[in-house]
Structure formats: C-alpha cells, structure tokens
Structure 1
Amino acid sequence: MDTAKLKEWIGKSTESQDEITAFPVKALGATLDREDPAPVRGDALPALWHWLYFLPLHRQCELGVDGHANRGGFLPPVPLPRRMWAGGRLRFHQPLRLGDAVSKTSTILDVSAKTGRSGALAFVTVEHRYSGPQGLAVTEEHDIVYREEAAPGAAAPAPVAARTDEDWSREIAPDPVLLFRFSALTFNGHRIHYDHDYVTTVEHYPDLIVHGPLLAVLLLDLVRRNLPEATVSSFSFKGVRPTHVPQRFQACGKVSEDGKTVALWIRQADGALAMSATAELG
C-alpha cells in the first residue's frame, strides 16, 4: 500500500440531505421484535436509528465485487479486499425527530496502516455530523478496517472471553432473514451478509456475518427494553470477533453503581466476546 497516497484523502468531505420518515422506524421495530406504538410526526428517533437514513445510493455499475461501492470515490482506494465496520464513537446532542429535514456532513479524519497477526491492515476513520432544524444533533466517528484476504483454513485469532456478570441479557438467534431485512433497511449490498457462496469461498468465513451495526443497535435496544425512560448521551463500540449465522449470541448489559453508564457486550455461544460497548446516560 502507498500509505502516503491514501492519506491524501484526509480532509475530503461530502454533504447530503434526508428527511426522517416513519416507514424505516416501523420496519426496524418489526425487525427487532419490538411492540412500539405507531410512530407519529415529532417522535424522537431512538439512538443509532439515524443509520436508517442517508443511505448509499450508488448505481449498480459503481459497485465492486463485494457489493460495496468501488474504491476511490469518497473513501480512499485501499487495496485490501476485506472491509468491515470496526467500531465507532457517537455523541447525541439532541434528538432527531420524525418529520425533520436533516443534513449530514462526512469528512475523512484519518487513514493509517499497519501489519498485524493476520497480515496487512488499513484503518479509515470518518466523521459524520448530523444537523436538524434545531442545530447539531449527532456527531459520529466511524472506524472502517480493511484486511488481507484470508488463506483457506487459516487459524482464527484466539477468542477473548466475554464477561458473565450482566444485569440483563437477551438471546438472539440470527438467521439469513434477519440479516436480509437489516441489509435492506440500510441499503447495504455487502455480500458477506447474504451471499453464502461469496462469504465462504471468496472471503473464507465459515458462514454469513451478522452486521456490526446490527449488533450495536441490538445493544442499545437492550438498554431501551430495560431502561425505557433513559436518554443515551453517548455511545462507543468496538467489534472484537465476527458473529456468524446460525450461531446464537447474547446481548448483555450491566449498569454502573452510580447509574450513569451501562457496559454492554455481545457474548457468543462459546463464551467469546464479539463486541464491547459503553453507553452514557443522561
């Protein structure tokens, strides 16, 4: 990789507009097995559900073999074939509401590369700023990781044991339908989430991969289910290990002694940690 060339993308920015409409809220609620009342104009959008808007509308001829947009547009042309959402940090300044006209500004903050146990790695950090009628509503730093192609049969990194001291947990049994519905709601064409032949023979994963953003949404949904009146002021999350269909997993949470933060994590069926996160309340 020519890291110096890739760093030329730092500072690159793009702007877009969208409207917070009701259908995506209804559809994600159904996908998460929620029983919410019908949304009405003025309702606050749950934390992270802004991911249902500002969707990537690339033309079909602009897509790469993995289903993502070809590299070298807004994102730098990292020459590594496997890319995934690695994590992020968000601050919720005020709620976005149904009916709001919202603007989004995205800026490349950083591009870096290194060599890890699995080979060459590249990291791209993008900042997103969402503003509604009352001003800035959400700031987000989105981490994308690019990896070398895995060799067939290559040993996976040793798992990290997840915590077992949760106050709440919810078991999820992911299947292709759940992944399809979330991909459709976020207009995500990445083939690792729905194309079994591609994910197993090209990217050499054992099965379809559960979206990192879906895991994050499930963690904050756990907070909503157990603290329905709480307001999330910030949220950070990091993917640790891929989660595959049909592997069951648990979304877990533990409230701090002062009640101001919630530690959240995804624990896989074998006890391994898949995602860690922290939500600040208030």
Structure 2
Amino acid sequence: MSPSPRVVRTEPITTGTVEAYRGTFAASDPVLDAGDVLPAGWEGVFFPFAVPLADLRPDGTPARDGVVPEIDLPRRMYAGETTEFLRPIRIGDEVTQTTRLGSVTEKSGSRGRLTFVDIEREYAVAGEVAVRGVWHDVFLEAAGPDAPQRAPQPQPSVAAEADWVEEISLDARQLFRFSALTFNTHLIHYDRAWAREVEGLPDLLVHGPLTRILLMDAARRHADGRLPTHLDVRAIAPILVDRPLRVVGGRATADGLRVTALDADDVVLATADITFSDR
C-alpha cells in the first residue's frame, strides 16, 4: 500500500495574524505579545490555503491541494473537526504543519451520493507535536433554491439548562476577514447569489472552522483557567450571516464541557465537546 499523500509547511506564529483574529472576533481578550501562549484553536488561522487559482473547483474550494483526491461531486462542506492539544504553542514559535489524507468514505443518503473525507494535520514545534487534528469534510451532489430542506427541530432545553450564554451576530465584514486570513475562497461565504442559487441556502454561510474557534473561545472564557486537551466539533445545521447566534455551555467538570451553538429558535447548529486538564 502506498503512503498517504502529505504536504509539509513551516511558518512562524506572528503577532500580526493573532491580532487580526483577536481584533475581529475576540476583542474582549487581551492583546498578546511574543512568548505568550496562543489560545487553543487559534492555530486554525495559520497556514492559509495555498492552492493556485487554476487548482480551485468552481465553488472556490481546492480541487488539487496535494492531499485530497479530486472528487466528482460539486459541493464541499465542513462537517466538523477533532483536535488534541498536547502542548502549548507560543507566539513567535516556528511551527511545522504536516497535512495527510485520512479516510475517504462513499455513502448514499436521502440527498444522493456523499463522500466523506478526513484530513489529518499535525502542528509541531522543534520537532515535538503540539496540536494534532482531523478535519472532516463532506462532498455532496448539486443543490439549489428548490432543494428540500430538513425541518428544524428546536431543543429549548439546551439553553434553559445552560450555566452561561454568550450572544454573537456575525456580519459580512467578519466573514470577509476570516476568508482573507485563511485564504478561503469558498464562494458560499461571500457570494450571495452562489449561496442562494447553487447551494440552496437563504444567505451567506459562516465558516465551519470559524465556528470551531468561536466555540472554543467561549469555553475558554468559562473554564477557570483550565487548559483544553481535546476538542470535538460537529457541524449540524447551517450558521448564517447576520442571524442572532447563542453559544451556551455549562460548568467545566472532570468529564469536560459541551458548548452548543443555537439559533434564535433554539435549533442546534453546532456542538463542541471539550475536555480539560489542570496542567
């Protein structure tokens, strides 16, 4: 069996990129300087997509990135991510990211063919792995404005039983900035005509990787200084621009914490299960 394709890249963790994210999405956090610990999850704004324009699919996602094979389904969506935090990354560190192809699974569902692809990433400092993650993507058949939509299923008990709630509303300026930071050219995040007419959504979609970091940020603010060791994010329903979003959670325990993104109607849009350590 031939080894999985991989791509290795190295770049520094710079204050400029950290401040660009903080100033846009975490303004209540303190300004960070060289030597400070990078908040868990923020490694996701480094190592932006590096694919020439000619190697993009029509939807703006990578077709040929040296890792994921070309897949003959027109739509590509983020389905979630699993991350292990093994040791801190500090601002100023030189980090090496190794990206490999994980499992590729084809299925058939109510909306036709699907292909699930796992992308494995490691972030190492001085040869020691600091963060290890698996990004889950799904490729789908074509959709459109008349595509059948799943009926929303409100779960009011999630907010009612929460210990804390944070309210967020993401606008098009923030989506643009995250696309710019990560060099994410998926049209679904900035082209309303594409989002509505091709993807069958009411409006622009908030980036799944951004949702992952926002959920981790909220958990961190309520973790009493405990450090995360494991993060498992699941994208369940579209999070749309300019819509009220509530991030709710409970008190972190020895078993961890679940953070949930809810819309104004108590529909669960995404979940993050996080475990912590006292180290």
Per the normalisation by structure 1, the TM-score is: 0.91
Aligned pairs for 1:97-246 within 5 A: 97-133=90-126, 135-162=128-155, 163-164=158-159, 165-227=161-223, 229-246=225-242
- Aligned partners of 1:192 and 1:199 also within 8 Å: yes
- Tell me by how many angstroms 1:234 deviates: 0.7
Match in the other structure for 1:49: 42
**Displacement after TM superposition at 1:112 (Å):** 0.6
Equivalents in 1 of 2:245, 2:28: separation in Å?
22
Alignment of 1:240-259 (within 5 A): 240-255=236-251, 258-259=253-254
Amino acid of the structure 2 residue aligned with 1:23: G
8 Å contact from structure 1 (residues 10, 111) kept in 2: no
- Structure 1 segments, 4+ long, off by >4 Å, are none
Preserved contact between residue 10 and residue 110 of structure 1 (Cα < 8 Å): no
Q: Which runs of 5+ in 1 are unaligned?
A: 1-7
Question: Structure 2: where are the runs of 5+ without partners?
Answer: none
More displaced stretch, 27-36 vs 88-97: 27-36
Match of 2:270 in 1: 275
Q: Secondary structure at the match of 1:174?
A: coil
Cα RMSD after superposing both structures: 1.8
Measure the CA separation in 2 of the matches of 1:91 and 1:279.
10
Q: Which amino acid aligns with 1:236?
A: D
1:180-238 Cα deviation digits (max 9, x unpaired)? 11111111111100111111112221110011111111111112222352211110010
**The one of 75, 79, 84 aligned to 2:77:** 84
Contact 2:61 2:76 in 1 (8 A): no
**Aligned partner letter, 1:18:** E
Deviation at 1:72, TM superposition (A): 7.1
C-alpha displacement of 1:57: 2.1
Label 1:227 to 1:72 Cα distance change in 2 as closer, same or farther (>3 A).
closer
CA separation of 1:33 and 1:14: change in aligned 2, threshold 3 A: closer
Instruction: Give 3-state SS (helix, strand or coil) of 2:250's partner.
Output: strand
**Amino acid in structure 2 at the alignment position of 1:81:** P
Alpha-carbon contact 2:5-2:66 (below 8 Å) kept: no
2:260 corresponds to 1:265: yes
| Identity in percent | 34
